[in-house]
Amino acid sequence: MFGAGIAHATPAADDGYDGSSLWLRYPAVDDPRLLAGYRASITAIVVENADRTKVHRHTANLSMAPGSTEHLVETTLQAARDELVRGLGGLLGRPVPVRDAPGGRIPAGAVVAGTRTGSPAVHRSVSAGDLAAIGDDGYLVRSCRAGGQAFTVIAGNTDLGVLYGTFAFLQRLQTRQAVTHLNVSSAPRIRRRYLNYWETERLYAGNNASGTGGLNGENGAIFDFAATGAGAALNLPVILDRYLVAARAMASVGINGITINNVNANSGYLTPAAIEQEAALADALRPYGIRLALSINYAAPTDARFAPDTLTREQLDPYGAQFRDWWNRRARRLQAAIPDFIGFTVKANSEGQPGPQDLGYDHGDGANGIAAAVAPLGMRIFWRTFVYNADVDRDRLKRAYLEFGPLDGKFADNVFIQTKNGPLDYQAREPVHPLFGRMEHTDQALELQITQEYTGQNTMLCYLGPLWEEVLKADTYATDEHGRLLRKRLVGDIVEGTTRSRPDSAIIGVANLGNADNLTGHHFAQANLFAYGRLAWDWTAGSRNLAEDWVRMTWGHHPDVVRTIVAMMTGSREAVVSYQTPLGVAHQFRSSDHYGPAPGERLSREDWSPVYYNQADSAGLGYDRSPTGSGFTAQYFPILAARYGDIDSVPEDLLMWFHHVPWDRRLRGGRIFWDELVSRYELGVGYVTWMRHAWDSLEARLDARRFAEVKAKLAAHEADAAGWRDTCVGYWQQFSGLALPDDGPLSVAVVVAGTSATSRRIPVPAGASPRITKVVPADPAARAEVLAQPRSVPGQAVVRVTATSSFGPVVKDHVFDVVPTGGEPGAPPGSPPAAHGTGA
- Using DSSP's 3-state secondary structure scheme, residue 27 falls into coil
Cα gap 740→146, rounded to integer Å: 73
All residues at 6 or more sequence positions from 649 whose CB lies less than 8 Å from its CB, including other chains: 642, 643
Of these, 17, 23, 198, 416, which contacts ligand GCV (CB under 6 A)?
198
363 touching ligand GCV, by CB under 6 A: no
Strands (E), 758-794: 761-764, 772-777, 783-788
Q: 351 catalytic, yes or no?
A: yes
Binding mask 147-186 for ligand GCV (x = CB under 6 A): ----------------------------------------
The single residue among 23, 151, 386, 687 that binds ligand GCV, judged by CB under 6 A, is 386
- What's the min distance (Å) between Cβ of 655 and ligand GCV? 24
Annotated catalytic residue within 351, 413, 664, 696: 351
Yes or no: say if 204 and 458 are a contact pair by the CB < 8 Å rule.
Answer: yes
Q: Is 263 an interacting residue with respect to ligand GCV (CB under 6 A)?
A: yes
Cβ 700 vs Cβ 691: under 8 Å: no
Supply the minimum distance, in Å, between the C-beta of residue 398 and ligand GCV: 17
List, in sequence order, every beta strand (DSSP E) within 338-390: 343-346, 380-384
Residue 215: half-sphere exposure toward Cβ, Cα within 13 Å: 12
Is residue 453 part of the annotated active site? The answer reads yes
**3-state SS of the chain: helix, strand, coil percent to 5?**
40, 15, 45
Q: By C-beta, is 262 or 505 nearer to ligand GCV?
A: 262
| Nearer Cβ to ligand GCV (198/477) | 198
SS3 383: strand
Q: Which region holds residue 96: left if phi is over 0, alpha if psi is between -120 and 50, else beta?
A: beta
| C-alpha dist (Å) from residue 718 to 349, 662, 836, 839 | 39, 30, 16, 9
Residue 188 vs 220, nearer CB to ligand GCV: 220
Please state the closest distance from residue 328 (CB atom) to ligand GCV, in A.
26
Sign of the torsion formed by the C-alpha atoms of 117, 122, 124 and 125: negative
Report the distance separating Cα 340 and Cα 329, nearest Å: 16
Of 395 and 453, the one with the shorter C-beta distance to ligand GCV is 453
Catalytic residue chosen out of the listed positions 425, 475, 601, 709: 425
The least CB distance from residue 715 to ligand GCV, in Å, is 27
Q: Of 264, 335, 609, 804, which one interacts with ligand GCV (CB under 6 A)?
A: 264
Q: 446 to 465, contacts with ligand GCV by CB under 6 A? A: 453
Q: Which stretch binds ligand GCV (CB under 6 A): 198-206, 357-365, 463-471, 515-523?
A: 198-206
Report phi then psi at 774, rounded to 5: -155, 140
In the complex with ligand GCV, the residue whose CB is nearer, 82 or 453, is 453
3-11, 44-52, 257-265, 825-833 -> range binding ligand GCV (CB under 6 A): 257-265
Residues 6+ apart with CB under 8 A from 577: 428, 429, 653, 684
CB of 449 to ligand GCV, least distance (A): 8
Nearer to ligand GCV, 171 or 419 (CB): 419
- The nearest distance, CB 606 to ligand GCV, in angstroms, is 15
Q: With the C-alpha atoms ordered 523, 526, 527, 528, is the resulting torsion angle positive or negative?
A: positive
Interactions with ligand GCV, residue window 325-354 (CB under 6 A)? 347, 351
Which of the residues 137, 403, 430, 453 is marked catalytic? 453
Our CB check for ligand GCV shows the closer of 113 and 508 to be 508
The alpha carbon dihedral of 739, 742, 744, 746 has a sign of positive
Strand partners, 490: 475
- Annotated active-site residue 276? The verdict is no
Phi-psi region of 829 (alpha: psi -120 to 50; beta: other; left: phi over 0): beta
- Interface with ligand GCV (CB under 6 A), residue from 15, 201, 325, 538: 201
Site for ligand GCV in 398-427 (CB under 6 A): 425
CB-wise, 351 or 413, nearer to ligand GCV? 351
Any idea how long the chain is?
Answer: 840
Q: Which stretch binds ligand GCV (CB under 6 A): 10-18, 147-155, 223-231, 260-268?
A: 260-268
Which of 81, 116, 189, 202 touches ligand GCV by CB under 6 A? 202
Could you tell me if 734 and 600 are in contact, meaning their C-beta atoms sit under 8 angstroms apart? no
Q: Report the distance separating Cα 680 and Cα 683, nearest Å.
A: 5
Q: Which stretch binds ligand GCV (CB under 6 A): 259-267, 291-299, 683-691, 738-746?
A: 259-267
Binding site for ligand GCV (CB under 6 A): 198, 201-202, 262-264, 347, 351, 386, 425, 453
Question: So which residues are the catalytic ones?
Answer: 351, 425, 453
